A and B are shown apart, each in its own frame.
Chain A
């Protein structure tokens, strides 16, 4: 239990650091913006209570916001993301599994489940984020293009990070 708490605190700090120092400055043609820090929310253990899940999502969003002068923007998108995570996991994972401390990552859940989990939730997170930022229905095509390209970039980075720590036969 202590090990899991330690890992998550470590992950929080490392991901926020990478996001605000490195990834914030990367953009291809102003369309493609990777947001790797959301990996923290994906990797919280199954038995995290809902209030803690929402609180941590809100906190990591707010931390990134403070560093990029967009107070409330990432926090709102991360809250939506936490809600989607609760919903997605409740319909795809057996209930006895939900009581365990298992971290939902590539090694424990397999490629297919993890791929759809990250792809769907990342896309919706990015879409809400870019939509809230611009808040204009006439720019919807531009927002969709930005959300799609950024999702591909973010998911690619998430899988790169996951393969770095991938261990076979944990299941």
Chain B
């Protein structure tokens, strides 16, 4: 026992190294699990409040770009208003609209912390479960898609951004029926890759890519980016398309969280197919 104790104290650096290194590796690996619920991240109350204080100072720098984006969006929305269309009908009556039911609701939020330069990037916003945000909701900004809600606390939420190795956003090429998952390879924060597109179609540089509306996360037609170049990888029958992302993650300041009211209904129905198929 005495010898063992002397041995441990002589090589104490090695033993301490093993203890702390194993602890951190366990933390790191457990943290990668998408299903994990943890408090040691930026959706935590203390860190969230700290970042919102810092952001109060920083947001003045971006006011110019944010204003331009909002003006452009306002213009787009104003064009869709009923009041801006000429109406020549005389009869005015109120109709209870039973055809157009609201499917998507948008919750505006301010970005209080973000990372862009790592392999897996996250964004923290100042809205949480109190405001109706739930895990798995889509997040967009005036120019394009941003990511998917990851962890939620009462006042804050973290978003797994498009710039993350586990994020796959089902996107389609405008004007064609083809769709596939958009993934990010970690090289450049402005370029992602659209995969699983059959190689018989010809693509021009600048063709628009938008969300397909096939998943419950995003509505159809939200901008994702534009085609940079398309090429076949390794003799396969699918194209690998480089996409220039529409969202500038460096200048991100305000985002909208998309709440799909029919999400649970659609998912329950689809899960029913799976369970019956396995029997």
Contacts and interface: CB of A to CB of B under 8 A. Distances in A.
Interface of A: 21, 24-25, 27, 30, 33, 50-51, 54-55, 57-58, 61-62, 65-73, 75-76, 79-80, 82-83, 86-87, 132-134, 139, 142
B79 interface: no
A27 B116 contact: yes
Given A27-B116, A30-B188, 7 more contacts: A25-B116, A30-B189, A68-B42, A69-B115, A82-B17, A82-B20, A133-B118
B75 interface: no
B41 A73 contact: no
Interface in B44-86: 44, 47, 54
A28 B54 CA distance: 23
B117 A76 contact: no
A121 to B, nearest CB: 14
Nearest to B28: A72
Interface string B15-44: 011011101111111110000001011101
B189 A66 contact: no
Given A50-B13, A69-B41, A134 B119 contact: yes
A30 B24 CA distance: 25
Interface string B158-171: 10000000000000
Residue from A50, A79, A142 having most chain B Cβ neighbours under 10 A: A79
Interface of B: 12-14, 16-17, 19-21, 23-31, 38, 40-42, 44, 47, 54, 113, 115-120, 122, 158, 186-189
Contacts of A54: 13, 16-17, 19-20
Closest 8 CB pairs of A and B: A72-B28, A72-B27, A75-B24, A76-B24, A27-B117, A71-B31, A83-B17, A69-B122
A79 B24 contact: yes
A76 B41 CA distance: 17
Nearest to A32: B117
Interface of A is mostly: helix
Contacts of A25: 116
Contacts of A51: 12, 16
Contact of B47 (A67, A76, A82, A83): A67
A79 B20 contact: yes
Contact of B117 (A33, A75, A86): A33
Given A69-B115, A83-B13, A58 B28 contact: no
Contact of B24 (A55, A61, A86): A61
Contacts of A24: 115, 117
9 contacts: A30-B187, A58-B20, A72-B28, A82-B17, A82-B20, A83-B17, A133-B120, A134-B186, A142-B187
B24 A69 contact: no
A134 B118 CA distance: 9
Given A61-B24, A132-B28, A69 B158 contact: yes
